[in-house]
Amino acid sequence: MGLCFTKSQDIPISSSDSPPRPYHPKPSQPHHPAYPTRPAPVPQYSSPSLSRHPIPPSQIGPILRKPYVDITSIYVLDKELGRGQFGVTYLCTERSTGRKYACKSISRRKLPTDKDIDDVRREILILEHLSGQPNIVEFKGAYEDRQNLHLVMELCSGGELFDRIITKGVYSEREAAKICRQIVNVVHVCHFMGVMHRDLKPENFLLVSKAEDSPLKATDFGLSVFIEEGKVYRDIVGSAYYVAPEVLHRNYGKEIDVWSAGVILYILLCGSPPFWAENEKGIFDAILEGKLDLESAPWPTVSPSAKDLIRKMLTRDPRKRITAAQALEHPWMKEDGVASDRPISSAVLTRIKQFRAMNKMKKLALKVIS
C-alpha cells in the first residue's frame, strides 16, 4: 500500500553520464544539492506585526515555529505500526483523499534540549531534501501540536528486509545483488545531494509492499547530516556491527556509508556480520583489528566477483575505499552483471534468521557521544 513516486532527479553514477536536470531547492533547503554547507534554518513563521491576522505566540509551536495543527483534522490515526525510543508510528488515513500513510509521532517531552530539537529539525529538512528520490521514503509533511511532533510519510507495508528474505526461504547471488544495488543507490543519492546517512543497517530499510518485486526504501534519517565541505566528523554514531573503523577513530567523512553497505552485503552472502563479538566493546575491537574472513564456509561457494566487491567496500583506508557510484558500476552489482542465479546455501538463511533474532533482543545501537 506504499504510495510510490517514480519521477525523480536523474543522478549520474559515473563521469560518463549526462548531468542531472537543474535542481531548484526550496528556500528552507541548502542552496546547492550536491554540496550544502550546513542545515538550512527552519523557516520562521511570519511576524505578528506583518501579518493581517496575528497569531499569538502561545499558538506557535517551538519546534517547527509554525502554528499548532490538530493532526486529527487532516488524518485519521489508525493502528499502531511500531514503537521506538522517541515515539510511536501509526497507520494513518488522509481525510481528503483516503490515502494511507505512516505517521511517526514524537512526544515533545522526549526533546528536552536545544540539541534534541535541532536534531529533529535537521531530520525533517533532510527528509524534505531527499523526498522523491529512488529508494528513499516519500515525505508528506510535519505537524506540531502541544504534545507531539508528527512526521507523515509514505507507508511501506512490506516489512523489513531480513524478514522478507527469511520468509521467502531461498535466494541467489543475483537477488542479493538486486537488494544491495538499492541500498548502495541510497548511499549514492545521499552523497550526490550532500547528505551523509551515518546509520545504514537492514532495519532502516522497508519494502514498499508485499509484492515479489517490491522496491526497498530507506526510512530513517535521524542520524543523518548535511555534509559540510572540508569538515572532519568526530562524533561516534551508528549501530555497532555496521560502524566503520574511522568512526571509532573519531575522524571520518561520507565514506562510512559505503562501509556500512558493505557490511550489509557481507551478511546477505554469509549470514553473519564480518566483525562479530558478544558485546559492543568486542565488536569495536574486531572492527579495529580488521580481520576480514572471506575463506571460511560459505565463502568458497561465493563468486570471486562478489568477494572482490566486498573487499573494495570494506577497505580500511577510506581514501582507497570504493565510492557508491563506483560500486554501482561493479560487474557483480550491475543489473545485467555477473551475479549468479544459483541458490545461496540454506545455512546462510539459517544464520540470517539467528542473527535477526539475536539483534532484535540485544539492540546494539550506539548513543550519540558528543
On whether the CB atoms of residues 326 and 16 are closer than 8 A, the answer is no
Residue with cell 558493505: 262
**Other CB atoms within 10 A of residue 225 CB:** 22
Distance of alpha carbon 181 from alpha carbon 303, whole angstroms = 17
104 in a known ligand binding site: yes
Distance of alpha carbon 124 from alpha carbon 370, whole angstroms = 21
Distance of alpha carbon 258 from alpha carbon 273, whole angstroms = 15
* Angle at 319 (CA atoms; ends 316, 325), nearest 5 degrees: 100
Closest CA to 310 of 249, 295, 219, 238: 295
Identity of the residue numbered 105:
S
Q: What are phi and psi of 89, to 5 degrees?
A: -105, 130
Closest CA to 158 of 206, 213, 104: 206
Cα–Cα separations (whole angstroms), residue 209 to 105, 139, 243: 22, 17, 29
Return the H-helix or E-strand segment holding 151: strand 148-154
Angle between helices 173-192 and 255-270 (to 10 degrees): 170
Cα–Cα separations (whole angstroms), residue 91 to 74, 143, 310: 13, 16, 37
Return the H-helix or E-strand segment holding 188: helix 173-192
Residues in the chain: 370
Q: Which residues are catalytic?
A: 199
Task: Tell me the chain's radius of gyration from C-alpha atoms.
Answer: 21
Cα–Cα separations (whole angstroms), residue 318 to 251, 257, 307, 322: 10, 10, 18, 8
Point out the annotated binding site for ATP: 104
Point out the annotated binding site: 104
